[in-house]
Structure formats: structure tokens, C-alpha cells
Amino acid sequence: MAEEEEKDPKATEFTIIATLSSLSPPQLSNFTISISSLFHRHCCRITAVVSSPSLFSLTLHHLNSLSLSQKSILIAHHLLSTLSPLSLLLHPTSAAPSAKYSNLHNLDAVLLLLLLCEIRQHNPLSLETPISDWRQVLCKYISGNMLTLSYAGLSNITVLSRYVMMVGKCRRFLYLMGFSRSKEVGAAAAAVVALPSVAVEGGRECVVCKEEMGKGRDVCKLPCGHLFHWICILPWLKKRNSCPCCRFRLPSDDVFGEIERLWEIIANKAAGTVVNCYRECV
Ligand SMILES: [Zn+2]
Ligand SMILES: [Zn+2]
């Protein structure tokens, strides 16, 4: 699926659509409401930025001061914040650690970046003007598309299709930036601290050290149910956020690692949905 997505960006959109189609009607309705309200808040924010000459100038200056990799981190955080509600629906214990970028300054910058991309896509020549005229171009675009941008009165299907396009656009952007899926990341400290200790009667083997987990040695239980000596699993989780037995992923503090973790939950659901559809058809 990974290579396929890099070659064919439509595969990302297909994965999201397959996952959305697996939700029950109430789940889909709640999800649509939460996404509309998130996008509506973003629309209000970018409208405020573009309406204020000083705030616009400050945000554009901040955006211009960022390197390409810093911009990709902003996009990644934005993508993560929009994937989280869907992965939480599919896997209620998959809550991500709170986003670290969530200051208004960075939110304004990423919203402006996405709006500039959208405008350029809409009309490639519209930004071929002096930068001093950009605010006027953006104001004109926002006022001409206010209903669509604010999500006011849009049908559920329109909201969802815009969500699918937005996720696809962000993932394509990250691939263009050279985002690698294979990088290993450690588990988030908060997720490790929250792991429970359990009592074991003996007879079970810790797969890391191959020794028995008997009484008197502290044993940790991962959310997937697999048990390990604390002393064995801690160094492992410092380097990798996956279970040594089943590759279940714990949250990570790395934004790209988090995107992969949540994407894996979504893609697994999509794969199950496609297989089920196929079975029903044959
Ligand atoms: Zn061990
Ligand atoms: Zn496991």
C-alpha cells in the first residue's frame, strides 16, 4: 500500500473513502459534524488573518521565515489533527499525544499556506502579482467562495469529499517533501508511563530476553495484551513504538511517526472493508 500510494496519490483518497464507507450512519454523521466544525473554525481564523493587514503581514513573514522542512512539519501536524478524529472512531484507544505545534501563530501559517496552494491550483496565474497585492487576491477569493470555505449549509457528502481531498493533498505534499515511512520512532514518554504493571504467575516467556516472567520481576502489559519484563521493554520502546510480538504501535512524539500510526489504523480498516465488499460480491 505504501509504494502504491507514492505512485498513485488517488490510492490515499481511495483508502479514506473505503474507511468512511465502513462507518455506521451515526458514526458518519458525528464525524461529519466534527469535521465541519473544525474546518469552519479554520475558515473563521484564515478570514481573520486575511482581513487584518497587520496580522496578514505578520503571518506571511512567519511563513516566509520557515524552511521547507519546517513547512512540511506544519503540514504534517495539520494532517495529524484531521486524521485523529477518524482513527479515534475506529480505535478509541488510539488517542495521540497533544499536538505541540498548536499555537495560533503556526495554525495561521499552515492555513495561509494551504489557502495559497488552493488558490494557485484554482488559478495558477492569480498569484503572479507583487506580494503586496496578495492580501487583496486572497480577500477576493475568500469572499467569492465563502459558502464553500466556511462549510455553511454544505451537504454531508460535500463536506466528506472536501475532507478526502484535503487529506490526499497533505499526504501528497509530504511525499513531495521526501517523507519516509520506514523511519523508526520511539514511543511517547507519556504512553510508556501510562502502561500498567501486571502480576504474572510464571510459565510465560518474555520474548525479548527469552527468560521466564516469574513472580518477583516487574512485568509490563502493552495495550495489545503482550507481556514483557519492564527492564526489557523500556530500551525497546525508546527506539521503536511497536510491540516486539505483534507490531501494535504505541503513540509517538514524532509527528511523522504518528501520521504513520494513525494511517495504519485507517488503512487496515479500509483493507478489511474492501475484502468484505469483495466477499459479498462473489
Ligand atoms: Zn525480558
Ligand atoms: Zn503485541
C-alpha span between 225 and 227 (Å, rounded): 6
Q: Which residues surround ligand 1, an ion (CB under 5 A)?
A: 206, 208-209, 229, 232
Gap from CA of 94 to ligand 1 centroid (Å): 26
Tallying the residues shown for the chain, one arrives at 282
Residue 1: pLDDT above 50?
Answer: no
Main-chain phi, psi angles of 152, to 5 degrees: -70, 125
- For the chain, what percent of residues have pLDDT higher than 70? 85
Residue 8: pLDDT above 80?
Answer: no
By CB neighbour count within 10 A (0-12 exposed, 13-18 middle, 19+ buried), where does 227 fall?
A: middle
Ligand nearest to the CA of 204: 1
Gap from CA of 213 to ligand 1 centroid (Å): 7
Gap from CA of 195 to ligand 2 centroid (Å): 13
Given pLDDT bands bounded at 50, 70 and 90, which one contains residue 13? confident
- Per-residue model confidence as pLDDT tens digits over 14-26: 888 999 998 999 9
Given pLDDT bands bounded at 50, 70 and 90, which one contains residue 159? confident
Look at residue 58 in the predicted model and tell me its pLDDT.
Answer: 95
Look at residue 99 in the predicted model and tell me its pLDDT.
Answer: 52
Gap from CA of 116 to ligand 1 centroid (Å): 52
Given pLDDT bands bounded at 50, 70 and 90, which one contains residue 39? confident
Domain boundaries, the chain: 2-180+256-281, 189-239
Residue 5: pLDDT above 80?
Answer: no
- Per-residue model confidence as pLDDT tens digits over 240-260: 999 999 988 999 988 888 888
Which homologous superfamily does the CATH classification assign to the domain defined by 189-239?
A: Zinc/RING finger domain, C3HC4 (zinc finger) (3.30.40.10)
Cβ(264)–Cβ(212) below 8 Å: no
Gap from CA of 69 to ligand 2 centroid (Å): 33
Residue 272: pLDDT above 80?
Answer: no
Gap from CA of 240 to ligand 1 centroid (Å): 16
Q: 84-88, 90-94, 120-124, 179-183: which has the minimum mean pLDDT? A: 179-183
Ligand nearest to the CA of 246: 2
- Per-residue model confidence as pLDDT tens digits over 45-83: 999 999 999 999 999 999 999 998 888 888 888 888 888
Gap from CA of 93 to ligand 1 centroid (Å): 26
